[in-house]
Structure 1
Amino acid sequence: MFSFFALFLLMIVYQNVQSHLCVWAPVQRGGFDISTPGSHICYRKPGPCGNVNASSTSPRTTLTAGSRYRVEFQQNLNHYYTGQPGSLDVSFAVGLNPSESDFQVLHSFSDYNAMNQITQTNFTVSVNLPNQPCDQCVLRVRYLSNNPEEEDHGTTFHQCSDVKLTASTDDTPHSSGPSEEISPIVPPIRQNDPHDCCAPESFTTNFFHIIPSTQSHAQGMIYYDKKAQQMRVTVSTNHGQGNTTYDGTFDMWMNFTSGYQYYYNRNSGACDLYGLDYWNDWCFGNTFNQSEDFVAADVRCSGGRSPHERCDQWRNGGFLFETYANNQCFPASISRQNGERYEYFEGRTEPIPPSVFVPNPVCVKKREVKHASPGWMRFHL
């Protein structure tokens, strides 16, 4: 643990403002806020609906029974656990406030290793709605993290949306468009592969991130040190001159020994303190208990920044992971079927000065914790 934390441990104030899952299509009960990672309004844990009940006058989204509907939501913080990778699912139940046993899973897919807790990943999942009209019914999204560090009221996060299904006026199948997640619910068969690998124990790499659907982009640098269990990410989004996650410049310091992660806004000077989950290596493939399945070896990289490079590939649902085939398992890209992609380039294994992992002094003085697991709180307070 950093010695300069000692003076602040007893003065930290825990705010129960954790946020992990937000649904806006159909809109979740009680509204939503995805302007920042860790938004209070989206943290709901107890099943079946996060302790948020509906009434007969609650707002409802009207959908067509038997149609195909695109559910849109965000994993507001990532809690990937290599010990037992989790999943996300969409389910449906009839009734005003149905019980857990009433829900039927319509679609399920694996969690993915974002290599960083502070991520905001948007998902679009097409589901076939039941072909039976109902005035009061519920569409639910869950994040089953399986992460022991998130064990308060269980390790699953719930969001429920109140809907009404009306009868179709014709026999034509309805659809709201394509989706990145349309595979059937089939439990994956995990297999090891000789190409499974881990990135160097200490490396730096530049990255570029693009999200076509929102016409946004970001660029930055990653510093990774497995032996010290520390990582730092610097990122500038869009032109980098604002104060929001959509347009700003940020530093993230992650110390998995102390359990602290800081999220610093360079432009505003504000810093948020997070309590971390377990360390997740930059490894690829089931050999290392990740949830990526090997796809191909020594193929042309999909990224535009390295058109002549060769890559090895792994897949997890809608995510394609690539490493450079002839360069020590350096990450090359993470891409999705919706066009979103991270590209990593100019990776190096040079020593990282310890000063890189020292947070800004503003962060060290931070007393309030924006997110921390119960285990983290027991350790520190």
Structure 2
Amino acid sequence: MHLIFYLFVFVIIGNGVHMHMCLWSPMQRGEFDISTPGAHPCYRKIAPCGNINASSSSPRTSLVAGSKYNVEFQQNLNHYYTGQPGTLDVSFAVGLNPSENDFRVLHSFSDYNSMNQITQTNFSIEINLPNEPCNECVLRVRYLSNNPEEADHGTTFHQCSDIKLTQGSLNTLKEDKEHKIELIKKINKQRNDDPHDCCVPDSYVNAFFHSIPAIDYRSEGLIFYDQKARQMRVTVTVNGGHGNTTYDSVFDMWMNFTSGYQYYYNRNTGKCDLYGLDYWNDWCFGNKYNQSEDFVAADIPCSSPFGPSHQCNQWRNGEFLFETYASDKCLPSSISRPSGERINYVEGRIGPILPSTFVPNPACLKQKKMKHASPRWMQFHF
């Protein structure tokens, strides 16, 4: 379990429907909308393309065969499942409306554990486009969550984009073949446990500072984690906290995994939203605990400004680099991405947390309308 809140500025809260993934480069089929809460175009599960077919007159993005291209999309909700961690992938098929068997994977990477399912994360993935000119072909992004809580119409989310590949001036067949071989190696790689893999203390409180320089975003707050009680609380102030919106207010999140309820409270407006939680995940690092992370290094200088005089251990999951202080306590130090986005943790306090910490604001206890919950959650609670 890794505490990553507001990984991108688009923290769009659901409004009674599921929203899990949207693709804009190249533009997805059908409607596209991430500007309002509950954007239905981001929820498409039926293979191979979310039950949306194309026609010969459908809008089509023209790209160069054999060239490199950045696929850009957003994971709208995080459904990490430690029982069988999921993946995200980019695939390609020739044809107007190809079948599932026609698609071949160009790039695949592991899901990451953000802990908070309402976290939304943007990805920009560089791929090698096939060196196969075609007038009608499809580029697809999938989120294979493997989470049984999300099992209506399966546990995979799809977005397809109609493209055209034109003949390029360079022959990149060799490069494309080498890329496919490397992809197969990565997919088949045996993930190994490491003696440094660890979990944070059962009862732990710390502070965090989150920054995204590219969009001048910053937030800070406190994390209360109680493994035995299966409860968490997070307080966060976004961009100074002087406004009323997702981008500039102050929030409390109470998560009770025994009851299955998560409350999301805006202190400045007094509004509280209710969510149904997925499964509890321990706050751990490394493949030993099914976190889809490979151990990188031990006892190296911490990259966090709060720990330059300390030594850290590192794990990596794709572009996410996780650091903990190099001690038997497994205290988190930072999370970073190549884009410059960082979450720095301040070494916190180990020990019991007052039960009153996990009691939601009275306004939340009055909330009965569910913003988002999985079909399985709804089955057992209503």
TM-score (norm 2): 0.88
Q: Is 1:288 the counterpart of 2:285 in the alignment?
A: no
- The match for 2:112 is 112
Work out the CA distance in 1 between the residues paired with 2:253 and 2:291.
Answer: 23
Q: Is 1:40 the counterpart of 2:30 in the alignment?
A: no
Q: Cα deviation per residue 1:318-340 (whole Å; 9 max; x = unaligned)?
A: 11111111361111111112221
Q: Is 1:360 the counterpart of 2:361 in the alignment?
A: yes
Q: Is 1:62 the counterpart of 2:67 in the alignment?
A: no
Secondary structure, in 3 states, of the residue corresponding to 1:213? helix
For residues 227 and 37 of structure 1, do their structure 2 counterparts lie closer, same or farther at Cα, with a shift above 3 Å needed?
Answer: farther
Q: Which moved more, 1:308-317 or 1:240-249?
A: 240-249
- The match for 2:84 is 84
Tell me if the contact between 1:37 and 1:120 (Cα under 8 Å) persists in the aligned partners.
Answer: no
For residues 15 and 243 of structure 1, do their structure 2 counterparts lie closer, same or farther at Cα, with a shift above 3 Å needed?
Answer: closer
- The match for 1:343 is 344
- 1:129 is displaced (CA, Å) by 1.0
RMSD of the alignment, in Å?
Answer: 2.0
For residues 365 and 53 of structure 1, do their structure 2 counterparts lie closer, same or farther at Cα, with a shift above 3 Å needed?
Answer: farther
- 1:256 is displaced (CA, Å) by 0.5
Work out the CA distance in 1 between the residues paired with 2:133 and 2:60.
Answer: 14
Ranges in structure 2 where 5+ consecutive residues have no aligned partner: 1-13, 173-181
Identity %: 70
Q: Is 1:171 the counterpart of 2:197 in the alignment?
A: no
For residues 36 and 270 of structure 1, do their structure 2 counterparts lie closer, same or farther at Cα, with a shift above 3 Å needed?
Answer: farther
- The match for 1:135 is 135
Tell me if the contact between 2:88 and 2:141 (Cα under 8 Å) persists in the aligned partners.
Answer: yes
Work out the CA distance in 1 between the residues paired with 2:225 and 2:254.
Answer: 11
Work out the CA distance in 2 between the residues paired with 1:202 and 1:37.
Answer: 34
Work out the CA distance in 1 between the residues paired with 2:324 and 2:32.
Answer: 36
- 1:16 is displaced (CA, Å) by 5.0
- The match for 1:177 is none
- 1:122 is displaced (CA, Å) by 1.1
- The match for 1:101 is 101
Letter in 2 for 1:250: F
- The match for 2:258 is 257
Secondary structure, in 3 states, of the residue corresponding to 1:273? strand
For residues 287 and 133 of structure 1, do their structure 2 counterparts lie closer, same or farther at Cα, with a shift above 3 Å needed?
Answer: same
- The match for 1:312 is 313
Tell me if the contact between 2:66 and 2:129 (Cα under 8 Å) persists in the aligned partners.
Answer: yes
- The match for 2:125 is 125
Secondary structure, in 3 states, of the residue corresponding to 1:375? helix
- The match for 1:11 is none
For residues 135 and 245 of structure 1, do their structure 2 counterparts lie closer, same or farther at Cα, with a shift above 3 Å needed?
Answer: farther
For residues 348 and 38 of structure 1, do their structure 2 counterparts lie closer, same or farther at Cα, with a shift above 3 Å needed?
Answer: farther
Letter in 2 for 1:235: V
Work out the CA distance in 2 between the residues paired with 1:288 and 1:374.
Answer: 27
Tell me if the contact between 2:86 and 2:144 (Cα under 8 Å) persists in the aligned partners.
Answer: yes
Counterparts of 1:153-168 in structure 2, within 5 Å, are 153-168=153-168
For residues 15 and 235 of structure 1, do their structure 2 counterparts lie closer, same or farther at Cα, with a shift above 3 Å needed?
Answer: closer
- 1:33 is displaced (CA, Å) by 3.4
For residues 366 and 135 of structure 1, do their structure 2 counterparts lie closer, same or farther at Cα, with a shift above 3 Å needed?
Answer: farther
Q: Cα deviation per residue 1:222-275 (whole Å; 9 max; x = unaligned)?
A: 111111101111112222223333332222111110111122222233322211
Letter in 1 for 2:342: R
Work out the CA distance in 2 between the residues paired with 1:244 and 1:367.
Answer: 22
- The match for 1:248 is 249
Q: Cα deviation per residue 1:24-72 (whole Å; 9 max; x = unaligned)?
A: 1112123433357754331111111111222223222221222110001
- 1:103 is displaced (CA, Å) by 0.8
For residues 37 and 122 of structure 1, do their structure 2 counterparts lie closer, same or farther at Cα, with a shift above 3 Å needed?
Answer: farther
- 1:307 is displaced (CA, Å) by 1.2
For residues 270 and 27 of structure 1, do their structure 2 counterparts lie closer, same or farther at Cα, with a shift above 3 Å needed?
Answer: farther
Ranges in structure 1 where 5+ consecutive residues have no aligned partner: 1-13, 174-182
Q: Which moved more, 1:105-114 or 1:231-240?
A: 231-240
Secondary structure, in 3 states, of the residue corresponding to 2:195? coil
Aligned residues: 358
Q: Cα deviation per residue 1:176-226 (whole Å; 9 max; x = unaligned)?
A: xxxxxxx73412321111111110101111001112232212111111111
TM-score (norm 1): 0.89
Work out the CA distance in 2 between the residues paired with 1:125 and 1:52.
Answer: 24
Q: Which moved more, 1:269-278 or 1:196-205?
A: 269-278
Tell me if the contact between 1:37 and 1:76 (Cα under 8 Å) persists in the aligned partners.
Answer: no
Counterparts of 1:193-232 in structure 2, within 5 Å, are 193-232=194-233
Tell me if the contact between 2:66 and 2:171 (Cα under 8 Å) persists in the aligned partners.
Answer: no
Work out the CA distance in 2 between the residues paired with 1:250 and 1:58.
Answer: 42
